Amino acid sequence: MTGIKDVAERSGLSVATVSRALSGKGNVSPASRERARAAAAELGFVLSYHASSLASGRTHNVGLVVPSVHRWFYSAVIEGASAALLSAGYDLTLYNIGEDPQHRHSVFNDFLLRKRVDAVIAVSLELSEDEMQQLLAVHRPIVGIGGPLPGASTIRIDDSAIAQQATNHLIGLGHTKIAHMTGEEAYEQDFQLPGTRRGGFEKAMNDADCQVRPEWIVSADFTIEGAYAAARQLLGGAPERPTAVFAASDEMAIGTILAARDFGLRIPEDLSVIGIDGHDLGKVMGLTTIDQDAKGQGALAVRTLLGAINNGLVLEPADTEHPTKLVVRSSTAVPRNDAAQAGAAR
Amino acid sequence: MTGIKDVAERSGLSVATVSRALSGKGNVSPASRERARAAAAELGFVLSYHASSLASGRTHNVGLVVPSVHRWFYSAVIEGASAALLSAGYDLTLYNIGEDPQHRHSVFNDFLLRKRVDAVIAVSLELSEDEMQQLLAVHRPIVGIGGPLPGASTIRIDDSAIAQQATNHLIGLGHTKIAHMTGEEAYEQDFQLPGTRRGGFEKAMNDADCQVRPEWIVSADFTIEGAYAAARQLLGGAPERPTAVFAASDEMAIGTILAARDFGLRIPEDLSVIGIDGHDLGKVMGLTTIDQDAKGQGALAVRTLLGAINNGLVLEPADTEHPTKLVVRSSTAVPRNDAAQAGAAR
DNA sequence: CTCACAACTGCAAGCGCTTCCACAGAGTAC
DNA sequence: GTACTCTGTGGAAGCGCTTGCAGTTGTGAG
């Protein structure tokens, strides 16, 4: 294997100068810089990042901790972060916590402590006191995505506001009989997100003098499958059906649409559905949603961290609110007359 | 930061013995081993993997190269590999090639050469001569998933056979007017996969004396969205419609089902649809498919690599065929009478 | 012409581990 | 008794870089 020594020899420079030339730090004459570069290129030399890390303490590696990979939001964040890191020459180490509590434990108690990462991005993780301590003990910048991380910076959307916006979109169309699909209580891996969105829904409903019916608040696990099952319950048996559903995620909105179709309900004539996310499938399904640009959030997290690393600043715990956008498609419409009347007769 | 020296001091052993005790290599008396462990635990000591890697040449890190994260197959492989690596105490470095050719180039020409990984898993990547050279130059075990990688071991499914199996399932139900949705020519990131599956389809059709109609072979980009658009073309205008569609992936099968519904076609009464994959959504959609256990493939790749690493063997280039399973759900059925007759009247 | 100062450069001391080697002590076999 | 082998241990030499320090040059100012 060719090392920096070989490059030094070939270029007639010292190892120190070659190191400075290739890293761009310190003063090196343009001529030497060029000689070093040329020699490195000829030899096909690539820095050993281990040695470099050991000597400098900088790893050029960012850890990304996610609860799962296959759910849309996480995969989008991963893609956004990955692209940004790749461009910056950084590696991305993925820690997929998954369902296994053992995995979760070892990620926080071993993996992250191995001094392998320059920074950590934690996505939608409600961390225990202990876990947060472990994270902070690494003494690396941390950015959370998708919820508040006490003691760290976070990138998030205004869940309460967009929940109100989504609800108001339905109310604005004339709906009053609106159901809400929220996340399961147990699903508190995702911060208080379900609760916050539900709160926004209830506020909007109350503000508009619409009744919030407990039996029309159903919960699922944020997946299409789970929502499908829950929506069958909601739309199936009951004597009275809502005219619209606001789902706390696009995946759940899609599950709802699929279930509605099974009952022969037309979207949006018989049922309006709105979600939150900006899922790729939204276009195909004609889903009205609030796009939260998950990729952009991933990329922003990376920019924030790299900025902190490069400037050697400590990252002040601060919340950054990421913009969202209402995207109206064909899954929401004015309720049919009879339904609207039934609603008006409250 | 506490280092191995501190542990040595506290335990009254030498650094060398502590290192051996904690890594489990070399001869250490049970008593010393216990003393070292205890001291490490008390100090909350975690090995610096950089220093360890530099000294030993082993990184405890595996590189996973994927074309994208959000497509089902890749995210499933990632989850499978991630869980297996986590259990083994290995880090997973994710290289998401994405669309950007620049990224692809730097992954193969910089990132993988940094001597940071003990092994590489390449998923569904058709590598150029050059890229393969770069990969082999790393002198690490490599496993490919999803297609042949000249010079490396691969884990794959028998694409031709399962395509025939899927087609035969439809034929067995009485279908003769069968369309096939394949991958786009340009999509050769995925080995020759589309072509192979298409070959299997054609073979099965020919064997059963069913006519393969060129206009019923459509292609899409393996996504739900793309397939949806392609299926609208297929099912929309033409005077005669197929009674069944065999899609080369579940995502495309789902897109086809969504498009069919738009035209008021009932599944499976008016149209049978079968896919390949074992997508999570399959259950909700009632999709008949051939499950290829992508998670299992990811986990198997990891086991293969770790085996090679631990035994210090060079990994013989060998293909491992991963088993698949036909899962019959509600998206396929005997064609309706009129359709069957029309088919029989060929 | 001298001096201060900046721009370059090389030497060498690490970074925190692993592992080769040497050596002590305890068996085991003759 | 000698001559081994075998286990357990510590010393110390790196692994391949980065970077503080000091030395060498070149420059403009005094």
Q: What percent of chain B has pLDDT over 90?
A: 74
**Res. B343: pLDDT tops 50:** no
Which amino acid type is present at position A230? A
For residue B214, the tally of other CB atoms under 10 A from its CB is 6
Mean pLDDT for the stretch of residues B292-321: 88
Q: How many angstroms separate the most distant Cα atoms in chain B?
A: 90
| Contact criterion met (CB < 8 Å) for A82 and B68 | no
For A263-284, what is each residue's pLDDT tens digit? 989 999 999 999 999 999 999 9
Rounded CA-CA distance B28/A40 in Å is 43
For A254-264, what is each residue's pLDDT tens digit? 999 999 988 98
Give A156's DSSP letter. E
Mean pLDDT for the stretch of residues B317-323: 88
Rounded CA-CA distance A39/A6 in Å is 9
Residues of A in contact with B113 (CB under 8 A): 46
**Res. A191: pLDDT tops 80:** no
Note the pLDDT of residue B191.
63
Nucleotide nearest to A15 (CA to C1'): C10
Residues of A in contact with B100 (CB under 8 A): 83
Note the pLDDT of residue A187.
59
Task: Note the CA–C1' distance, B27 to C25, in angstroms.
Answer: 15
Mean pLDDT for the stretch of residues A160-187: 93
Note the pLDDT of residue A155.
94
Note the pLDDT of residue A313.
64
Which of A43-47, B145-149, B180-184, B190-194 shows the lowest per-residue confidence on average (mean pLDDT)?
Answer: B190-194
Q: What percent of chain B has pLDDT over 70?
A: 94
By C-alpha to C1' distance, C7 is nearest to: A27
Mean pLDDT for the stretch of residues B85-108: 93
Task: Note the CA–C1' distance, B24 to C17, in angstroms.
Answer: 15
Note the pLDDT of residue B186.
63
- Enumerate the nucleotides of strand C whose atoms come under 7 Å of any protein CB: 7-12, 14-20
Distance from CA of residue B286 to its chain's centroid?
Answer: 22
Task: Note the CA–C1' distance, B26 to C18, in angstroms.
Answer: 11
Element (H, E) at B8: helix B4-11
**Res. B223: pLDDT tops 60:** yes
B41 Cβ under 8 Å from any chain A Cβ: no
pLDDT confidence tier of residue B138, bands split at 50, 70 and 90: confident
Please indicate whether residue B265 or residue A136 has the higher confidence score (pLDDT): B265
Please indicate whether residue B314 or residue B217 has the higher confidence score (pLDDT): B217
Rounded CA-CA distance A316/A319 in Å is 9
Rounded CA-CA distance A53/A118 in Å is 10
Residue of A59, A78, A284 with shortest CB distance to B255: A284
Note the pLDDT of residue B337.
67
**Res. A188: pLDDT tops 80:** no
Tokens found for residue A143:
């950015």
Note the pLDDT of residue A73.
94
Radius of gyration of chain A (CA): 25
Q: What is the mean pLDDT of chain A?
A: 91
Asked if the peptide bond before residue B268 counts as cis, ω within 30 degrees of 0, the response is: yes
Note the pLDDT of residue B340.
42
Nucleotide nearest to B14 (CA to C1'): D10
Note the pLDDT of residue B225.
92
Give B112's DSSP letter. G
Q: Alpha helix locations (H) across B208-326?
A: 224-236, 250-262, 281-285, 294-311
Phi, psi of B90 (to 5 degrees): -100, 150
**Res. A343: pLDDT tops 60:** no
A312 Cβ under 8 Å from any chain B Cβ: no
Note the pLDDT of residue B341.
42
**Res. A24: pLDDT tops 70:** yes
B334 Cβ under 8 Å from any chain A Cβ: no
**Res. B28: pLDDT tops 80:** yes
Buried b (16+ CB within 10 A) or exposed e, A258-281: bbbeeeebebbebbbbbbbbbbbb
| Contact criterion met (CB < 8 Å) for A70 and B86 | no
pLDDT confidence tier of residue B274, bands split at 50, 70 and 90: very high
For residue B188, the tally of other CB atoms under 10 A from its CB is 13
Mean pLDDT for the stretch of residues B200-221: 95
For A212-232, what is each residue's pLDDT tens digit? 999 999 999 999 999 999 999
Residue A17 backbone class (left: φ over 0; alpha: ψ -120 to 50; beta: rest): alpha
Chain B nearest-CA residue for A58? B50
Rounded CA-CA distance A95/A63 in Å is 7
